[in-house]
Amino acid sequence: MKKILFCASLILILGCKATKEVEKIKEIEKIKEVEIVKIEPEKPVIKNVILLIGDGMGLSQVSSSFYFGATEEPNFTRFPYIGLSRTSSASHKVTDSASGAVAFASGIKTYNGAIGMNTRKEHIETIIERVERPDFMTGLVATSSITHATPACFYAHVTYRYKEDSIASYMPKSKVDFFAGGGLRFFNKREDGKDLLPVLSQNGFKVDTTALGKIGTLTTNNKYAYLLADKGLPSKLEGRGDFLPNATKLALDYLSKSKDGFFLMVEGSQIDWEGHASNVQGVVQEVRDFDKALGAALDFAEKDGQTLVVVTADHETGGFALSPMQVRKQWQYDNIQGSFYQNSKSLPSAAHTATLVPVFAYGPMAESFAGIYQNNEIFHKIIKATGW
């Protein structure tokens, strides 16, 4: 009898355990059937991109703005993310401005001298040409001619950078809505005898060859062309004034009226030219001027909240360095001077170098520009961030 009771109790206990195990399995199966939705953080909306290029601007050129003539902290300090760009072209370890600009404008490495061309000398689409939004607007500002290597790579397609007449012929029917710089002679004093100023007007541009327009007066019914010098504009040392920051502000005032956003490229062209001339004061003044343009871009972006600002260089020029002065064979560590690589002044022109150059970023997705990468990755990072 005891054996029978023991067996019955054992069966009852085991049955309860089995029932509980079955219930657990059923609960697990129910959980598996429930769709688990992973909540991703919302991607920041980027409506506008401002790309500022300091031509020939390496880390020492940037550093000069901290030591020479600055009464306030440079605007470079306002960028929360910094990277380094590897500048070599497809054809050379030391790039030129044309190949460097193609990397930014089209996302590829190409040969030195190419304007909107790949290594097979085929047209390659630019960032200005690829955006298909109906009310999207674009602008270019430079202290060089607007047909010079850097700005040209955003709208033209020619095999060699010095064909500036050919480059100018692309502008009237381009997707550019606003441009300001020099280069008038390549539109109205051309070797083929054509005058492209009326052609610009026929294609919706209001052309001004005397001065920048006033903020608040530009309307989206027109495009705007400011050609304010035959070739490049005067240097800062020659009295250019505040053209670069003022043109940047004017462009932003106009382009920000777009419903679908805008792309603006601003080039401090003559940092490079003063580097070629081994002119320390020239480099210092051009970098300070460029820094003012950065301030205008950052002020806009801070208020707007949907603007990505990226600052970089196509290459460094002259091997510029900041070193202590030497007096009676003693280093004077409190006295800084700018200098260029050895014998640069004895040559017709100081050369570009292969050093890595800085990348500064502010705004939505700015963190993606931290790190070390090839120069053409800047294009792809912009495209990925914006969805353009």
> Which among 161, 243, 156, 172 has a CA at the least distance from the CA of 206?
172
Q: Give the separation between CA 360 and CA 370, rounded to whole angstroms.
A: 8
Query: Which spans in 77-195 are helix H?
Result: 97-106, 127-130, 149-152, 164-168, 185-188
User: Are the C-beta atoms of 329 and 313 separated by less than 8 Å?
Assistant: no
Which residues are marked as active site? 97
Query: Which spans in 184-321 are helix H?
Result: 185-188, 197-202, 243-255, 270-276, 280-304
DSSP state of 213: P
Question: Nearest 10 degrees: CA dihedral of 286, 291, 293, 294?
Answer: 150
Q: Give the separation between CA 318 and CA 258, rounded to whole angstroms.
A: 40
Q: Which residues contact 233 (CB under 8 A, 6 or more apart)?
A: 143, 144, 181, 182, 240, 243, 270
> Which among 104, 84, 100, 117 has a CA at the least distance from the CA of 352?
100
Mapped onto helix, strand or coil, the DSSP state of residue 287 is helix
Q: Give the separation between CA 293 and CA 178, rounded to whole angstroms.
A: 16
For 69, the token pair is: 């003539």
